[in-house]
Every structure is written in structure tokens, then in C-alpha cells.
Amino acid sequence: MLSIKGLHVRYGAIHALKGIDLEVGEGEIVAVIGSNGAGKTTLLQSVLGLVKPGGGTVTFEGKDIIGLSASRTSNLGVSLVPEGREVFGTLSVLENLRMGLKQKIGSVSRAQFDKELELVFERFPRLHERRHQLAFTLSGGEQQMLVLSRAMISKPKLLLLDEPSLGLAPIIVNEIFATISELSREGVSILLVEQMAHKALSIAGRGYVIDNGTVAMHGPAAALLGDERMIKVYLGVH
Ligand code: ATP
């Protein structure tokens, strides 16, 4: 579904990605782990056309998507949930969700919106209770539920998630990860960037360890979790 080959990205003198190869198959959860500054966010941004690669190819469902704008890539069925939970703070939960649908299909009929809302609130009853609340007043976990729902409302085939656990309490992290697994069971393919390597690999089918702009290791998630070098170097366990 997503195929990245030989991807290079430079920011001036900084060579952030040095020939990355990565694949996401249909319905797969693929985890990308690695330390701060390894190049994980740059990788997601390259897929969505937010940074311009200096070499390599990115294809989605066989179509070359390098050079496409983020909105065109999103119209092909790729959604990014960026790091830092970017909600529209002064808009209500309902208005935030409406933005998600509008971005995808332009104008939104009331009936269409209501149908999508039902699905969102079934998944996250807490968002229903807070539907008229301004987004900036939500807790971190609720904001993550909102950005995830906003991305899902546009019915992506491939969801790119950048550090969904960042700054959240463990119990909320579990809830978010359970939702990610559920989305995958519903057929959405997922590329999950996470610092919480153990958690990410526990729901992923396969994983890639990015180190200083290159793929240091990759393979089935279970094999990575059982790999001594991976545990020592990247999970910080000795
Ligand atoms: P983190 O986990 O800390 O978010 P990351 O793995 O997502 O890190 P990136 O944000 O992709 O890493 O950054 C990779 C490298 O590129 C880093 O050295 C970073 O300083 C550099 N970099 C990222 N964005 C820019 C930019 N806009 N201009 C210059 N350098 C950048």
C-alpha cells in the first residue's frame, strides 16, 4: 500500500534521512521507533508532502506521491495525526469534527455529519459528553481522542500517527493504543511513530528502528521485542 525506497531528506547541512526503505501493507500496523532526532517525524512529513525529499521514491497504492501537496495526498486516502495534538482550540468538539469532514469532501450535509458523529461518539463516549466544550479546555487525552477522530472521519486508508502517547497518563495511552488496534481491525493501515517502543511493538505486526536517519533494524514486531540489541539500545533496558 505504502512503499518508500531510498528516501533522502536534507535540511540545509543536516542530512535527516539517509536512504530509508519502508513498506506498509494493507491492514498492517507498522511501528517506527527511535530516539529523539532520529528522523521519525521527517519520515511522516515526507509521505504527506510537508517536506521535500532530496531523493528516493514514495508510492501509495502504486501511485508516485512525491511532490503532491498534503491536501492532494490526503484526498488519496492518507491522514496524518501530527505530534502535539493540534486541535482548533477556540472551536468546540463538534466544530473540530466538522472541519475533519469538510477538509475531505468540501461541503457536508447534515445527515452525513450526523452519521459520522454517531460512529465517533460510539468509539469515544467522552467526546459526546464534551461535544459543546471548546477544544482547548479538553484534557490531553481527550484532545488526542479528538484529533484521532477528526482524522478518522475523513475515512483514510492509511493513517500516519506521530507520537500519540506523548504526555499522556498511562491509562489514557492504553485507551489510545486499544483504539489504534481497533482501527486496524476495521481495515485501516497504520504507520505508527512512537518513542514508547515496547507499547508500539506490542500492537504492531512489524517494526522499523530508525537511528540517525537510517533503518538500523526491521522485522516482525515480536522478533524485535525479543532481540537483545534492540532491547539494550533502543528500549533502554540493561
Ligand atoms: P523526535 O522524536 O524528537 O520528534 P524525530 O525522530 O521525529 O525526533 P525529526 O524531527 O524528524 O526527528 O528530526 C530529524 C533531524 O532533522 C533532527 O536532527 C532535527 O534537528 C532535524 N530537523 C527536523 N526538522 C528540521 C527543520 N525544519 N530544519 C532543520 N532541521 C530539522
CATH number for 72: 3.40.50.300
Name the band, by pLDDT with cuts 50, 70 and 90, for residue 99.
confident
What is the predicted pLDDT for the residue at 238? 45
Q: For the packed helices 140-152 and 110-123, what is the interaxial angle rounded to 10 degrees?
A: 130
The least confident of 27-31, 124-128, 132-136, 232-236 is 232-236
CA distance 43 to 51: 9
Q: Is residue 9 part of a domain?
A: yes
Residue whose Cα lies nearest atom 9 of ligand 1: it is 39
Number of domains in the chain: 1
Is the residue at 223 inside a domain? yes
Strand partners of residue 80: 160
- What's the pTM value of the predicted model, to 2 decimals? 0.90
Distance 162 CA to ligand 1 centre (A): 13
**Is residue 103 predicted with pLDDT exceeding 70?**
no
- The dihedral over CA atoms of 178, 215, 160, 145, expressed in degrees to the nearest 10, equals 40
Which phi and psi angles does 142 have, rounded to 5°?
-65, -35
Q: Return all residues near 92 (Cβ < 8 A) that are at least 6 apart.
A: 131, 132, 133, 134, 135
- The answer on pLDDT for 124 being more than 60 is yes
Residue 71 lies in a domain: yes
Q: Is residue 27 pLDDT above 80, yes or no?
A: yes
Q: Residue 78's domain spans which residues? A: 2-85+157-233
pLDDT at residue 42 above 90? yes
Q: Considering only CA atoms, which residue is closest to atom 23 of ligand 1?
A: 42
Judge if the beta carbon of residue 184 lies within 6 A of ligand 1.
no
* pLDDT at residue 98, rounded to an integer: 87
At residue 106, the pLDDT reads 62
**Cβ(199)–Cβ(224) below 8 Å:** no
Beta bridge pairs of residue 214: 211
> With bands split at pLDDT 50, 70 and 90, how would you rate the model's confidence at 174?
very high
In a domain, 188, yes or no: yes
Best residue among 41, 44, 85, 212 to mutate for probing ligand 1's pocket (most ligand atoms within 8 Å of CB) is 41
Ligand 1 site, residue 11, Cβ cutoff 6 A:
yes
Q: What's the number of CA atoms in the CB half-sphere (13 Å) around residue 234? A: 30
3-state secondary structure of 148: helix
Domain-located, residue 210: yes
The answer to the question of residue 180 being in a domain is yes
225-231 long-range contacts (CB < 8 A, ≥24 apart) are 225/198, 225/201
52 lines ligand 1 (CB under 6 A): no
Q: Percentage helix, strand, coil, to 5, in the chain?
A: 40, 25, 30
Specify the higher pLDDT residue, 90 or 112.
90
User: Atom 26 of ligand 1 has which residue's CA nearest to it?
Assistant: 11
